[in-house]
Chains A and B, each alone.
Chain A
């Protein structure tokens, strides 16, 4: 009997440790981009505008600017913010899950690392949505599908211009995006 209980507890501990180790990489993921930071941002912006489902650009943040203004040296980081009221509306109307507004707008981070390469970081909306019931899970699954389309690039097409906030974002501020969004 003691062996069974010990085995059960050991199993729980192992699963907990595995979950703890892999939680980060499950909730967020990172892929390498074949383009530079600006061009990756611009191609994502273009995809957001073309993917349909009510997606609009709601901002472009540069968190590195805030660090830079105080004399810091960080490699480029840019965050494309996009929103679809088609998806955000039902969540914002439901008091029980309204706190999920903290995840809005949808953010896609584009950054350079010390290896000189450009990476894209995104939240795993599909997995995260499953934790908050069927309505949110269903919406977030659709968001996840669209997110995948945001980062499909056609290298044969020339680089589109990056859509910059107006007025220019300073100190990490978002500025107005092209569509306003959420």
Chain B
């Protein structure tokens, strides 16, 4: 049935919009109707005390589920580069948002699909520690907070501490009896809020995608196709397709039929094929040989008032007011702008992407890698070139940062930020203690000397696809100062010119004008003489 639905879905996009509308109606009315009512299962009619107890109940029927999850990035938080073998993933890289999960596990694991990862001793083989509910809750009441190592709150707590706001204890029995397929709410609980704030990290993922209109996302539009995340990120054995670590940057061939062998169903091509435009617009189809679909069809990202974070300057952290008190400041749109705990941020809405060649490969800086502090450190070196047949021109978000590094060992530092202990930066505002604890937890040497270095992290943009009427127009790229102004290695009419060819053309035009004037002048002179 599922295969039928997705095949139906794929064909609808290309052939008949009315079928697509019917499919949307199907999604809205019946897609979530399960053949099992989990509230009737005896195993789930208990007053569960903890999350792992619920997982043990789930595994009675879903015997393979935990083992499947344990082979996914949602559990391991690492990903091997298929070409180099380099281990990436949140567990290994350093970014220029919160920098590293190491030594901060109790906070960061609020977004881990598991329970109890509080330090390096976490046992990844324990099945009951897999968190089923975070992805399958349909009640919207299952919430994991920073500081609990991936557990939901089992008793009412004040959050944030000192705010006067409270989060109620989760009703595990109710949640366990009301589970379903992952919805936008489940995925968005983490992916919309990456980097510590709504829309901060990705720029093309934020809470506006919970109820988007056609303008914001033509696929997820609630009044239209109403796709959920998993419509594109089709899942098999809990392996979710699509990854920013191994991006399908240049998928070719006709549209796929779901259920058959398909390396990347989470690509535009998998539904639209690589000749998505009508034959009368064949010139546009030729563009797909060099340009990613996203380049034209996502004219700007963060197209809402939420916006996205463009920079994070950690060097400003620990700056206090004249009384030694913490400073917290928002920007004009009400987004975080400064916090003595974390530094300074810059945000923007409706951001014009930065365009570059991209072949899907990125080499990441991982913990312990050497850096050159004299240059801006690329936290991921994006592969691709005009000569590479697997490269396309992609829209990207580049997040700029300024973050600490060890000035002697020339490595980016790992710092212990979250927590109430004596060395946490956000508690005691002492960089030395925070870096010392972080580096010790990461198992890499620290000289005791640090400074700050500029860094960049590049993200391909692929969500928030606009309606086709809002795609970039020809002149937005084909002009001297167009969108692709700085993209090398490709000849673009109206953007590029050949100096010699231009000179020959203008010379010919000038000579023609002179010839006409001379000819006319001679005719006038000779007619006067004859007259």
Contact = CB atoms under 8 A, between A and B. Distances in A.
Interface stretch (B105-113, B344-352, B405-413, B490-498): B344-352
Interface in A114-159: 114-116, 158-159
B332 A39 contact: yes
Contacts of B330: 161
Nearest to A35: B332
B332 A41 contact: yes
Contacts of B338: 158
A75 B300 contact: yes
Given A38-B331, A115-B481, A161-B332, A71 B215 contact: yes
A105 to B, nearest CB: 21
Contacts of A43: 332
B453 interface: no
B516 interface: no
B343 to A, nearest CB: 14
Interface stretch (B63-71, B427-435, B465-473): B465-473
Given A37-B349, A38-B349, A73 B215 contact: yes
Contacts of A37: 349-350
B333 interface: yes
A112 B307 CA distance: 14
A69 B467 CA distance: 13
B85 to A, nearest CB: 38
A43 B351 CA distance: 20
B365 interface: no
A161 B334 contact: yes
Interface string B213-236: 111000000000000000000000
A71 B224 CA distance: 12
Interface string A150-177: 0000000011111000000000000000
A114 B483 contact: yes
Interface in B331-361: 331-334, 337-338, 347-352
A42 B476 CA distance: 29
Nearest to B310: A36
A44 B347 CA distance: 19
Given A71-B214, A71-B215, A114-B483, A159 B332 contact: yes
A166 to B, nearest CB: 14
Contacts of A112: 350
A139 B247 CA distance: 61
A24 interface: no
A112 B300 CA distance: 11
B466 A73 contact: yes
A52 interface: no
A68 interface: yes
A68 B469 CA distance: 12
Contacts, number: 63
B319 to A, nearest CB: 13
B299 interface: yes
Given A37-B349, A114-B476, A73 B303 contact: yes
Interface string B297-311: 001100100000000
A76 interface: yes
Nearest to B338: A158
A102 B337 CA distance: 39
B370 interface: no
Nearest to B475: A114
Nearest to A75: B350
B467 A116 contact: no
B462 to A, nearest CB: 17
A159 B348 CA distance: 13
Which of A39, A73, A162 has its CB near the most chain B CB atoms (within 10 A)?
A73
A18 B114 CA distance: 72
Contact of B332 (A73, A116, A160): A160
Contact of A116 (B303, B337, B351, B470): B351
Contacts of A116: 351-352
A146 to B, nearest CB: 22
B351 A71 contact: no
B329 interface: yes
B467 A73 contact: yes
B325 to A, nearest CB: 16
A157 to B, nearest CB: 12
Interface in A36-72: 36-39, 41-43, 68-69, 71-72
B331 A159 contact: yes
Nearest to B224: A71
A72 B215 contact: yes
A75 B469 CA distance: 14
Contacts of A42: 332
Interface in B86-113: none
A84 to B, nearest CB: 23
A43 B337 CA distance: 15
Interface string A70-88: 0111011000000000000
A160 to B, nearest CB: 6
A165 B186 CA distance: 33
Which of B330, B332, B338, B481 has its CB near the most chain A CB atoms (within 10 A)?
B332
Which of A38, A68, A162 has its CB near the most chain B CB atoms (within 10 A)?
A38
A116 to B, nearest CB: 4
Contacts of B333: 38-39, 162
B350 A76 contact: yes
Contacts of A71: 213-215, 467, 469-470
Nearest to B351: A116
Given A36-B349, A69-B213, A73-B470, 12 more contacts: A36-B348, A38-B331, A41-B332, A69-B215, A71-B213, A71-B469, A71-B470, A72-B215, A76-B349, A158-B329, A158-B338, A161-B332
Interface of B: 213-215, 299-300, 303, 329-334, 337-338, 347-352, 466-467, 469-470, 476, 481-483
29 contacts: A36-B349, A37-B350, A38-B331, A38-B333, A39-B332, A41-B332, A68-B213, A69-B213, A69-B215, A71-B213, A71-B215, A71-B469, A72-B215, A72-B470, A73-B299, A73-B300, A73-B469, A73-B470, A114-B483, A116-B351, A116-B352, A158-B337, A158-B338, A159-B331, A159-B337, A161-B330, A161-B332, A161-B334, A162-B332
Interface of A: 36-39, 41-43, 68-69, 71-73, 75-76, 112, 114-116, 158-162
